[in-house]
């Protein structure tokens, strides 16, 4: 291991994994703000790949073409906005059709490997909070704190419904329930990086919790974590 790799590995990472609409994005972003850490929304990378593939006419089952596309994504994050090739696509990637396409694309090992280097590039001082589905199990297995957020499918469907309505999208609660159940099954049974708590992860059920309570719990766990600060 060279010096740059050693220095990079000393930068603390908090991973926040969990199923769709478990609250991981909100919690991870607010924890990052509280600690003044960098933030990685890994799910956005798959949604960006999904959006770009739809625009380029690439089928969700064409793993080779999708992996090439993923390697060449022109992505920029900033101030809670997401840009793809210079275009603000923050709202576009949150459409349900893009979310479903992203879930289908994420089963391909070639795509996940293509995005790995991009995800690693977000690890910068003073630290990183990364949310997704395999942040603690695959992408940052050396994270100083691994959190797995969960919630009942009913609670998650209600959250997703509220998010979509607030953003001006049409939504049906019964359809959302079915979509979440299908995504959960696909994420948990895929051969490559299935959704599951990482070894040593702290599991937090947010069904009856507010975002403030969940953030406070993660910050408390981090304050108890042991890592070589200032290394």
pLDDT (tens digit, 9 = 90+) per residue, 121-170? 999 999 999 999 899 999 999 999 999 999 999 999 998 898 888 888 88
Q: Is 21 annotated as a binding residue?
A: yes
The beta-strand segments (E) located in 70-143 are 75-78, 81-84, 87-88, 128-132
Find out whether the peptide bond into 126 is cis, omega within 30 degrees of 0. Answer: yes
pLDDT score for 229: 56
Q: Is 210 annotated as a binding residue?
A: no
Q: Is 59 annotated as a binding residue?
A: no
C-alpha to C-alpha distance for 105 and 21, rounded to whole angstroms:
18
Q: Is 202 a domain residue?
A: yes
**For the chain, how many structural domains are there in total?**
1
Q: Angle between the 109-120 and 63-71 helix axes, to the nearest 10 degrees?
A: 10
User: Residue 211 sits in which domain range?
Assistant: 3-223
pLDDT score for 227: 62
Which parts of the chain sit beneath pLDDT 50?
1-6, 230-231
Q: Is 25 annotated as a binding residue?
A: yes
Task: Dig out the tokens for 207 from the structure.
Answer: 């069904």
Q: Is 146 annotated as a binding residue?
A: no
For the chain, give the number of residues: 231
H/E stretch holding 16 reads strand 13-17
Residue 71's CATH number: 3.40.50.300
Q: Is 197 annotated as a binding residue?
A: no
pLDDT score for 228: 57
pLDDT score for 155: 93
Q: Is 228 a domain residue?
A: no
Q: Which residues contact 154 (CB under 8 A, 6 or more apart)?
A: 177
pLDDT score for 2: 39
Q: Is 42 annotated as a binding residue?
A: no
pTM of the model: 0.84
Q: Is 169 a domain residue?
A: yes
pLDDT score for 5: 45
| Contact present, 24 and 209 (Cβ < 8 Å) | no
* Antiparallel, parallel or unpaired: β 81-84 and 87-88: antiparallel
Q: Is 20 annotated as a binding residue?
A: yes
Q: Is 231 a domain residue?
A: no
pLDDT score for 7: 61
Q: Is 168 annotated as a binding residue?
A: no
Give the dihedral sign, CA 15/96/22/34. Answer: positive
Q: Is 159 a domain residue?
A: yes
- Is residue 194 exposed (0-12), middle (13-18) or buried (19+ Cβ within 10 Å)? middle
Q: Is 102 a domain residue?
A: yes
Q: Is 230 a domain residue?
A: no
């Amino acid at each position: 291991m060279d010096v740059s790799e050693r220095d990079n590995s000393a930068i603390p990472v908090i991973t926040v994994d969990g199923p769709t609409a478990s609250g991981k994005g909100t919690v991870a972003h607010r924890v990052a703000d509280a600690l003044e850490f960098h933030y990685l929304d890994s799910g956005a990378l798959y949604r960006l790949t999904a959006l770009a593939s739809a625009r380029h006419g690439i089928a969700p089952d064409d793993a080779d073409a999708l992996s090439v596309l993923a390697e060449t994504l022109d992505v920029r994050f900033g101030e809670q906005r997401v840009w793809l090739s210079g275009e603000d696509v923050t709202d576009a990637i949150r459409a349900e059709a893009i979310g479903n396409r992203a879930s289908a694309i994420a089963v391909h090992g070639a795509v996940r490997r293509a995005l790995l280097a991009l995800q690693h590039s977000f690890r910068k001082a003073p630290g990183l909070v990364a949310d997704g589905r395999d942040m603690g199990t695959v992408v940052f297995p050396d994270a100083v704190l691994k959190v797995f957020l969960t919630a009942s499918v009913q609670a998650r469907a209600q959250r997703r419904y509220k998010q979509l309505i607030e953003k001006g999208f049409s939504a049906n609660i019964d359809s959302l329930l079915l979509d979440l159940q299908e995504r959960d099954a696909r994420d948990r049974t895929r051969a490559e990086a299935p959704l599951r708590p990482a070894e040593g992860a702290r599991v937090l059920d947010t069904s009856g919790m507010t975002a403030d309570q969940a953030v406070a719990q993660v910050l408390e766990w981090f304050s108890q974590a042991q890592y070589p600060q200032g290394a």
